[in-house]
Amino acid sequence: MKNKILIIEDETSIRENLHDVLEMEGFSVLSTDNGAEGVETAQEEMPDLVLCDVMMPGMDGHAVLAALRGHKATARIPFIFLTAKGELEDLRAGMNLGADDYLIKPVKVHDLLAAIRTRLERMQEHRTTVMPDFTSHEPLQSLGLTPREAEVLFWAAQGKTNPEIAMIVSVTRATVKKHLENVYQKLGAENRAMASLRAMEVLSAQSS
């Protein structure tokens, strides 16, 4: 069965280009030009993944994400933001609301397909095994971490680089590096991989 992808994008040229690319790659594609219709379509069609623009008139991407995360049936659908380079503050807010990833417009086909396939693979794994619950970094504070340290580890465990984490949490790269050093010391972890593994153990316990 084809994976079903919903595109929510108000710019016609971008929406149609994404639609054509994904159809050529063998996906079943749905598309809408506004947030309200996007939420309605997601609830009716239950797509396997949502690609959503951040800045849209009326119901923006943040409101769409909040609406989907607020209902049990759509809460776990992988959600990827489409954002312009100048919308970094909006991006941070969106990631904190529970977006799974983001892509900078104009989106390169390779990056688009890689992000989609990664999220679909993780969703498939989640259906067969207990997977980490990446909806909140707060459970990581149980490891003795400060809220900011927990937040940095939360994103590191999802494979984000230091520059990406710095952008998401609005701090410098040096600050991210310092927080990670504190995390390693508190967890007795030798490196990023070991700290991430400990984080995923905690987050998996939350979802079981």
Shared-domain flag, residues 70 and 146: no
pLDDT at site 135: 83
Tokens representing 115?
Answer: 């992000």
Does residue 24 sit within a domain?
Answer: yes
pLDDT digits (tens, 9 = 90+) for 141-193: 999 999 999 999 999 998 888 998 999 889 999 999 999 999 999 999 888 88
pLDDT at site 159: 85
> Does the predicted TM-score (pTM) go above 0.85?
no
Cα–Cα distance between 132 and 29 in angstroms, integer? 28
Shared-domain flag, residues 111 and 160: no
Domain termination site, one of 100, 128, 156? 128
Cα–Cα distance between 42 and 124 in angstroms, integer? 18
Shared-domain flag, residues 124 and 181: no
Task: Supply the range of the domain harboring residue 120.
Answer: 4-128
Residue 190 sits in a domain whose CATH number is 1.10.10.10
Predicted confidence (pLDDT) at residue 11 exceeds the cutoff of 70: yes
Q: pLDDT > 70: what percent of the chain? A: 90
Q: How confident is the model at residue 208 (pLDDT cuts 50, 70, 90)?
A: low
Q: Tell me the mean pLDDT in the region 30-53.
A: 95
Per mean pLDDT, which range of 41-45, 86-90, 153-157, 162-166 is the poorest?
86-90
Rg (CA), the chain: 17
Does residue 133 sit within a domain?
Answer: no
Predicted confidence (pLDDT) at residue 71 exceeds the cutoff of 90: no
DSSP 110-151: HHHHHHHHHHHHHHHHHHHS----TT-SGGGGGGT--HHHHH
**Residue 183: strand, helix, or coil:** helix
Residue 103: strand pairing partners: 82
Shared-domain flag, residues 168 and 73: no
- The answer to whether 31 and 67 have CB atoms below 8 angstroms apart is no
DSSP 165-196: HHHHHT--HHHHHHHHHHHHHHHT-SSHHHHH
Shared-domain flag, residues 81 and 118: yes
Question: 72 or 50: whose pLDDT is higher?
Answer: 50
Give the pairing type, strands 49-53 and 28-32: unpaired
Question: 94 or 193: whose pLDDT is higher?
Answer: 193
- The answer to whether 139 and 127 have CB atoms below 8 angstroms apart is no
Residue 47 sits in a domain whose CATH number is 3.40.50.2300
Predicted confidence (pLDDT) at residue 128 exceeds the cutoff of 60: no
Cα–Cα distance between 150 and 159 in angstroms, integer? 15
| Count: domains in the chain | 2
